[in-house]
């Protein structure tokens, strides 16, 4: 009987150690995730404040352009942050209100702040695609992900041996807001 109790005690101790080891791993995992969340929050705390300054930008675009999956005629547009919080969503709306789209964006960063609010377009041949939106005085701007239409235009340029300013790369066209 003494051997039975000894084996049972050893088995119980092993299970206790396994549970304690598992618990330590769970605590370490939770602490690692918490540290990562705190580090990312601290790192990007200034980004939303900078992006809030986008406010509303009015611009006269002298050419037809694409934003997301939508094609806009040349004309006057207002670009503004959509929603109350900084959620990476902007609205582009024509002055007459006939053309409007909401686009998801991500942040772009520049070493120097902008002297003027501006839109940057990618140009492939005679096609223009909205690329970035910058507010005056900011080093954080908003970048629109490439649409399938822009990727198709880029492939077309590559197939034609590049008709843009740099081989294989789009030319950048900057329109300053007024």
SS3 (DSSP) at 143: strand
Average per-residue pLDDT for the chain: 80
Q: pTM for the full model?
A: 0.66
Phi, psi for residue 144 in degrees, rounded to 5: -95, 125
The confidence band for 46, taking pLDDT boundaries of 50, 70 and 90, is very low
pLDDT of residue 168: 59
Label residue 19 left, alpha or beta by phi (over 0 means left) and psi (-120 to 50 means alpha): alpha
Instruction: Provide the strand spans (E) within the chain.
Output: 56-61, 65-67, 70-72, 75-81, 89-94, 100-104, 106-109, 118-124, 127-134, 140-143, 171-176
Give 53 or 17, the one with higher predicted confidence: 17
SS3 (DSSP) at 16: helix
pLDDT of residue 20: 73
């Amino acid at each position: 009987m003494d051997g039975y109790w000894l084996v049972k005690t050893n088995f119980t101790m092993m299970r206790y150690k396994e549970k304690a080891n598992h618990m330590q791993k769970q605590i370490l995992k939770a602490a690692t995730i918490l540290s990562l969340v705190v580090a990312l929050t601290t790192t990007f705390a200034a980004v939303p404040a900078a992006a809030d300054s986008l406010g509303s930008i009015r611009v006269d675009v002298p050419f037809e352009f694409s934003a997301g999956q939508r094609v806009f005629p040349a004309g006057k547009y207002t670009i503004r942050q959509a929603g109350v919080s900084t959620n990476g969503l902007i609205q582009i709306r024509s002055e007459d209100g006939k053309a409007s789209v909401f686009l998801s964006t991500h942040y772009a960063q520049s070493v120097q702040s902008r002297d003027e609010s501006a839109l940057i377009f990618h140009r492939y041949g005679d096609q223009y695609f909205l690329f970035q939106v910058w507010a005056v005085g900011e080093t954080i701007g908003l970048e629109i992900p490439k649409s399938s239409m822009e990727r198709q235009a880029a492939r077309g340029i590559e197939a034609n041996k590049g008709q843009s300013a740099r081989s294989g790369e789009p030319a950048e066209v900057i329109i300053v807001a007024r």
